[in-house]
Chains A and B, each alone.
Chain A
């Protein structure tokens, strides 16, 4: 029975082949655009959040707050100190606190001066923890060890010879802020903008070099028991409120899990993606109107046919189903072609991006939900657009319909 409806629908669509194709083109342009944009957007988001490295769920970060806008660092008003780090370490449930610093410094090598990021390494077992958490691997030479004074480890991008027109090698010396340091190791490439541009130095020589003996940029907190992470977070917040003398709701610092920290960036990117997809999605509305139009025309053209069907016993319901399925089919077929086209467009673009720009940021990322969702959406769109025309057809009076002249 339902099979009959489908074969009638397909027959009717084939009869007005040109019109069916044009209507479907309207749908698939929209679906292809939305699928491609969402796919590329997802890829961009994964790529960007991936830049920050993967942290485990047992970590918290503590940062001094400030003005949001502007270059990072400039907005911080009351920086954290090494005292804060010690105090947080004493909080119940905290296993370890790693004070982190990232500063921009001038780097001189091969008579070329550039600006790079300098970051600290901490003595003892915390050193292993940093290496583990940041997933740093040595390509050549060795990591820093306790007591290394004039030694540094440089990231891959310093060593590839592009920036300084000469490869940095283990044993070479580099001028940082006009002081000499020896390279003892080179990091493996991580594919991250930050960690591929970093220079690691032990904390003591770094503080001497910068003449800064107390400021800390971020505290990385590792908790003892992952399940109590919320509790520990509250305790740290309470402690910091007391230390900084601020009330609840007026905190000038932030305690976050890395997921939360990434969440902010993620939210912004998501909002942009949503906006762009919405604009593209409006073309789907236009496509829907196309279906509506086609279906109204079909009802009109087939008025006499409907009259005949009704006079030999077709129910209102049967007529409705007939048109409803036809328009649902228009939407779904358009959707299928659109999804295929969108997938290939986005993959093609990401391929081109990698080929010609060497950029990992342009990558397509399709979840099965995106594909299922767009197919479902195109089906619903088609069906919705078909409802009023199908109702109109179903309500036709058989006698009037038979009498209708084109």
Chain B
């Protein structure tokens, strides 16, 4: 019985092949866009989630200055303050770093990248853990390293930063001071971080006299069993007292990694939803097209409806015939849209990866595919509802008489 409706719908659709295809195309355009946007949005949030997992929910980050500060250098944490944070109850270990733009020169070619001043030993291990990177070649920086650098992933690749890849042991100029390359980090997945240059505090002193051990960020690991939020508040209070500042007037802030990442995720989520909303406009237009097609179908088949009613078709079965037909339009359209969206997202993902943004990868949860198909069907059926009702309410006699 159900299948009869389906077969009848398919027959009718293929009878008016051109019109059906045009209607299907109008749906698949919208569905393709929505599918692509959602898959990238999901991909980003998966990436962020994996970041927060790598970094761990037991970490805190302290930032010198506040959201308004612009120029660097005027707000920083001293070594003493880092020690203070490390001694806060509930904090196990800390790592601190500062960063700034630097110039690197190799064979008379100059590039401008970010230099990161790091602490050595266990502190650097904590930093590697937080940023999810490992030294893949050579060694990490260690105590006593002065004119040694650890380079980001991209320096090993040709034509990324310099024409030729840089080898271990090579000397490069950093702000006109010679540094020896001792190691390379693995890939982070974005071009900025992958071109970072890491230097010890002694090295930083060499480049910027008097500015070493002035850290911009401190990352702390809380002890197991501690509530990171409480520890963050405790650390904030200690540092506030140390600096003799009032609550709400700090020129620094400390938050848990989860909170820091959540802000970021929220922003991405909002942007993504706005884009999806805009893309949905074309889905609405497609719905109007379906409605139009179905009204035309009802008018064209008025006589047919009359005949069916005359031989005993109920209002409900006429309604069902047209709703199934328009639902099929939506379903087929969204099916093709999903396939097309999948292709486009994958292509976009590999373009992003080759541009160095391997973090921007689409994911295709089964809910997305199912959701798109269901949405397409509901959209089709919903748009067909009014025309179908018009069809079902026709008087058999009038319908038969229609010219």
B285 touches A22 (CB 8 A): no
A67 CA to B307 CA, complexed, in Å:
76
Is B399 interfacial (CB 8 A cutoff)?
no
Contact of B74 (CB < 8 Å), options: A67, A105, A283, A292: A105
B26 touches A115 (CB 8 A): no
Minimal beta-carbon separation of A63 from chain B (angstroms): 13
Q: When each residue 270-298 of chain B gets 1 if its CB lies under 8 Å from chain A and 0 otherwise, what string results? A: 00000100110110111011011101100
B275 touches A117 (CB 8 A): no
In the complex formed, the residue of A with least CB distance to B292 is A22
A286 touches B113 (CB 8 A): no
In the complex formed, the residue of A with least CB distance to B274 is A276
A66 touches B19 (CB 8 A): no
Residues of B in contact with A, size category: 35 or more
Minimal beta-carbon separation of A207 from chain B (angstroms): 14
Chain B hits for A114, CB < 8 A:
249
A117 touches B19 (CB 8 A): no
B284 touches A29 (CB 8 A): yes
Is A72 interfacial (CB 8 A cutoff)?
yes
A104 touches B68 (CB 8 A): yes
In the complex, chain B residues 95-138 whose Cβ is within 8 Å of any chain A Cβ: 99-103, 109-110, 112-114
Is B81 interfacial (CB 8 A cutoff)?
no
B288 touches A22 (CB 8 A): yes
A66 CA to B175 CA, complexed, in Å:
12
Q: When each residue 156-173 of chain B gets 1 if its CB lies under 8 Å from chain A and 0 otherwise, what string results? A: 000000000000000000
B278 touches A73 (CB 8 A): no
B285 touches A115 (CB 8 A): no
Chain A hits for B113, CB < 8 A:
67
In the complex, chain A residues 75-126 whose Cβ is within 8 Å of any chain B Cβ: 75-78, 102-106, 111-117
Is A287 interfacial (CB 8 A cutoff)?
yes
In the complex formed, the residue of B with least CB distance to A37 is B278
Minimal beta-carbon separation of A209 from chain B (angstroms): 11
Is B29 interfacial (CB 8 A cutoff)?
yes
A113 touches B292 (CB 8 A): no
Minimal beta-carbon separation of A330 from chain B (angstroms): 12
Chain A hits for B288, CB < 8 A:
22, 25-26, 29, 290
Q: When each residue 16-30 of chain A gets 1 if its CB lies under 8 Å from chain B and 0 otherwise, what string results? A: 001100110110011
B110 touches A252 (CB 8 A): yes
B249 touches A19 (CB 8 A): no
A286 touches B282 (CB 8 A): yes
Contact of B112 (CB < 8 Å), options: A30, A33, A67, A115: A67
Contact of A286 (CB < 8 Å), options: B30, B66, B296: B30
**Contacts A72-B71, A287-B285; is A296 near B19 (CB within 8 Å)?**
yes
A285 touches B71 (CB 8 A): no
In the complex formed, the residue of B with least CB distance to A103 is B71
A66 CA to B30 CA, complexed, in Å:
42
Is A264 interfacial (CB 8 A cutoff)?
no
In the complex, chain B residues 9-59 whose Cβ is within 8 Å of any chain A Cβ: 18-19, 22-23, 25-26, 29-30, 33
A30 touches B101 (CB 8 A): no
Contact of B245 (CB < 8 Å), options: A19, A71, A113: A113
Residues of A in contact with B, size category: 35 or more
Contact of A19 (CB < 8 Å), options: B18, B192, B278, B296: B296
Chain B hits for A217, CB < 8 A:
71
Chain A hits for B278, CB < 8 A:
33, 37, 276, 279-280
Chain B hits for A280, CB < 8 A:
278, 281
Is B300 interfacial (CB 8 A cutoff)?
yes
A282 CA to B70 CA, complexed, in Å:
40
B33 touches A282 (CB 8 A): yes
In the complex formed, the residue of B with least CB distance to A106 is B251
Is A243 interfacial (CB 8 A cutoff)?
no
Chain A hits for B291, CB < 8 A:
22
Minimal beta-carbon separation of A335 from chain B (angstroms): 14
A77 touches B71 (CB 8 A): no
A75 touches B101 (CB 8 A): yes
A66 CA to B112 CA, complexed, in Å:
6
- Give the most central of B19, B192, B285: most A CB within 10 Å: B285
B114 touches A26 (CB 8 A): no
A115 touches B295 (CB 8 A): no
Is B246 interfacial (CB 8 A cutoff)?
yes
A252 CA to B104 CA, complexed, in Å:
12
Chain A hits for B285, CB < 8 A:
26, 29-30, 283, 286-287, 290
Is B203 interfacial (CB 8 A cutoff)?
no
Minimal beta-carbon separation of B21 from chain A (angstroms): 9
**Contacts A67-B112, A77-B112, A104-B74; is A406 near B101 (CB within 8 Å)?**
no
B282 touches A102 (CB 8 A): no
**Contacts A246-B110, A286-B286; is A22 near B295 (CB within 8 Å)?**
yes
A70 touches B74 (CB 8 A): no
Chain B hits for A66, CB < 8 A:
101, 112
In the complex, chain A residues 336-390 whose Cβ is within 8 Å of any chain B Cβ: none
Chain B hits for A78, CB < 8 A:
103, 175
**Contacts A113-B246, A282-B33, A290-B26; is A26 near B289 (CB within 8 Å)?**
yes
A289 touches B26 (CB 8 A): yes
A160 CA to B320 CA, complexed, in Å:
66
Is B65 interfacial (CB 8 A cutoff)?
yes
B282 touches A282 (CB 8 A): yes
A115 CA to B74 CA, complexed, in Å:
11
Contact of A74 (CB < 8 Å), options: B99, B281, B284, B296: B99
Residues of B bordering A, CB below 8 Å: 18-19, 22-23, 25-26, 29-30, 33, 65-66, 68-75, 99-103, 109-110, 112-114, 175, 192, 245-246, 249, 251, 275, 278-279, 281-282, 284-286, 288-289, 291-293, 295-296, 300
Which 6 pairs from chain A and chain B are nearest by CB?
A: A73-B71, A283-B282, A113-B249, A75-B101, A66-B101, A74-B72
20 contacts between A and B (CB under 8 A): A26-B292, A30-B281, A65-B112, A78-B175, A103-B70, A104-B69, A105-B74, A111-B246, A115-B65, A115-B68, A115-B69, A117-B70, A217-B71, A282-B30, A282-B282, A287-B285, A289-B26, A290-B289, A290-B292, A296-B19
